[in-house]
Amino acid sequence: MAKNSIADYSATAASNTDIQSVDIDEGCAPSGINNAIRELMADLADMNAGTTVLTSPSASVLTLADGSSSAPALANTGDTNTGIFFPAADTVGVAVGGTEVWRFGSNPTTAKNLIINGAMTVAQRGTSFTSVGASNAEYLLDRYYLRLRSGAPARWTVTQESSGGVSGTAKWMKILCTTADTTLAGGDGQAIQQSIEGFNCQPIVGSNGKVAAHAISFDVIGHADAGSSITFPAKFCVGVKTQDGTGRQYHHDVTIAAADTWERVSFVVPADGTATLDNDNGDAYRLTFGLYSQQQATADTWENGDADHYVTSATDNWADSTNNYIGFTHIQVEPGSVATDFEHEDIGVTQFKCDRYYQRYNYPTANKHIGYGWCNAVREMKWIHNLRAPMRSDANKTLSVSAVANFSIYDADGSTGGIGLNDTITIQDQHQSQVTILWRYTGGGTYTVGEPMYANVGANNAWMAFEDEL
């Protein structure tokens, strides 16, 4: 058969007796070789222009270099920083304009982040918290809290910032030192932490039932006051701790190259043959950002988790001077050995996830009906509150309100009794579920048992909240 294009050529050399019908068989005329070379050059030009499409080989593959996001292995002639590259084993990346926009293979492509509210967009408790550090496990922006050892004297102002972020407007959490701790003693130590329940940790459980390798990444910014001992490049420490089984911990020192400059940081936590994560709704895994500590861990090694070591010996003391601050956003913990781009999720999805642990109901204006129920006793009303999202457990929720006096109860004819300081609003534990709450309001007035009643908001900016944190 005549070889009219490269696609017709045979892998058996002896079968290639012509090029575009020009005889190149054994004993051909010398002029045929010259003509055949010219025809072959034309075939190659057609292939380069895309006129000729090659059939995929059946017994071999086209091997490409790994490439990078700035210089992909497979790219267009006129756009060399857009195309496909191979960032790790069993992983394919797609770059556009020199920036990675998609990666798939060893890491999930969606719903990959174990951290909730990594972009700091939800702040139901408020956007500014002062004198943070005065009590243990003080919750801040949703799912984050300050963990400390008893007596640690440093204090902080923690805020949700809406300017000065990575893109100028991206939200971030700023942790500003307002009371310094320059002499570490008595196990002083504080850290920003998020706990992850066991159900959400299963993507990083390996086939052996132990913790598999996983990647941690985030954006960070740091600032040192003029009186601080911190100089840049500066160090702080990120730690993980498993709460199940024997408990294990791992710490990694992170370098902030320059002051007042956002930087993207990533590292891989290696697998551990001892650490376990239960498949339940309990506290299984903790991610900590160490601010300072008198007790210190060993860097880059798994250790027994019997004590909370928030930092290593290389970590700077971010509490050594007032006006030091450190900030975080776009926090991600994901399975696999490669840190991928931060996954920006829909705000409604983030809110729903946060509501599993804390739900706050705000009432900007007074005189709003918030529940209908019945008179349970002469001075009691009960009503059912349907939660806007299922919470973590069937019991043990706690209730907080702006003030009991912000709420009142009415009977069917609209009468109400006086509201006193001893009035209470409580959750009936025996009637809790993940989706409903039975309220019990004990207030002033005398009502007829069994008659219908309703609850009312009596003040502007009143609120009530349910908590089911880890």
> In tens digits, what is the pLDDT along the chain, a chain of 470 residues?
677 777 788 878 888 888 888 888 888 888 888 888 877 778 777 777 766 655 555 555 667 889 999 999 999 888 999 999 988 888 888 889 998 777 777 566 668 999 999 999 999 999 999 999 998 889 999 999 999 988 899 999 999 999 999 989 999 999 999 999 999 988 899 999 999 999 999 999 999 999 999 999 999 999 999 999 999 999 999 999 999 999 999 999 999 999 999 999 999 999 999 999 999 999 999 999 999 999 999 999 999 988 888 999 999 999 999 999 999 999 999 998 888 889 999 999 999 999 999 999 999 999 888 888 888 887 778 888 889 999 999 888 888 899 888 888 788 777 665 444 456 777 776 667 777 777 777 766 677 888 898 888 989 999 999 999 99
C-alpha distances out from residue 326 to 36, 117, 119, 172, Å: 70, 18, 16, 10
Interacting residues of 430 by C-beta distance below 8 A, sequence separation 6+: none
pLDDT for residue 419: 41
Separation between Cα atoms, residue 289 and residue 98, nearest integer Å: 31
Secondary structure E strands in 64-213: 74-76, 79-88, 91-96, 99-104, 128-132, 138-139, 145-148, 155-161, 172-179, 189-197
Counted residue by residue, the chain has a size of 470
Cis peptide before 233 (omega within 30 of 0): yes
Q: Of 31, 117, 19, 66, give the one whose Cα is nearest residue 353.
A: 117
Determine the Cα angle at 147 with ends 142 and 153, to 5°: 125
The alpha-carbon radius of gyration of the chain (Å, integer) is 32
Q: In this structure, what token pair is assigned to residue 263? A: 């930087």
Q: Are 326 and 191 in contact (CB under 8 A)?
A: no
Q: In terms of C-beta density within 10 A (0-12 exposed, 13-18 middle, 19 or more buried), how is residue 386 classed?
A: exposed
Secondary structure E strands in 97-244: 99-104, 128-132, 138-139, 145-148, 155-161, 172-179, 189-197, 214-223, 234-242
Q: Domain limits of the chain?
A: 1-63, 74-104, 128-346, 356-467
Which CATH number applies to 356-467: 2.60.40, 3.30.1460, 1.10.10, 3.40.50?
2.60.40
Separation between Cα atoms, residue 335 and residue 210, nearest integer Å: 13
pLDDT for residue 109: 62
| Number of continuous H segments (helices) and E segments (strands) in the chain | 3, 30
Secondary structure of residue 375 in the 3-state scheme: strand
Alpha-carbon torsion angle 244, 249, 255, 259, nearest 10: 60
Separation between Cα atoms, residue 322 and residue 331, nearest integer Å: 25
The DSSP H or E segment spanning 331 is strand 325-335
Q: In terms of C-beta density within 10 A (0-12 exposed, 13-18 middle, 19 or more buried), how is residue 307 classed?
A: middle
Match 């129920």 to its residue by tokens.
373
Q: Of 153, 295, 155, 168, give the one whose Cα is nearest residue 237.
A: 295
pLDDT for residue 413: 72
Separation between Cα atoms, residue 23 and residue 287, nearest integer Å: 72
C-alpha distances out from residue 128 to 124, 140, 177, Å: 11, 8, 14
- Straight-line distance from the first to the last Cα atom of the chain, in angstroms, rounded to the nearest whole number: 75
C-alpha distances out from residue 313 to 46, 122, 183, 294, 387, Å: 64, 34, 15, 9, 46
DSSP 406: G
Separation between Cα atoms, residue 455 and residue 468, nearest integer Å: 24
pLDDT for residue 392: 96
pLDDT for residue 257: 98
Q: Which fold has domain 128-346?
A: Jelly Rolls (2.60.120)
The dihedrals phi and psi of 234, each to the nearest 5 degrees, come to -115, 160
Separation between Cα atoms, residue 54 and residue 27, nearest integer Å: 30
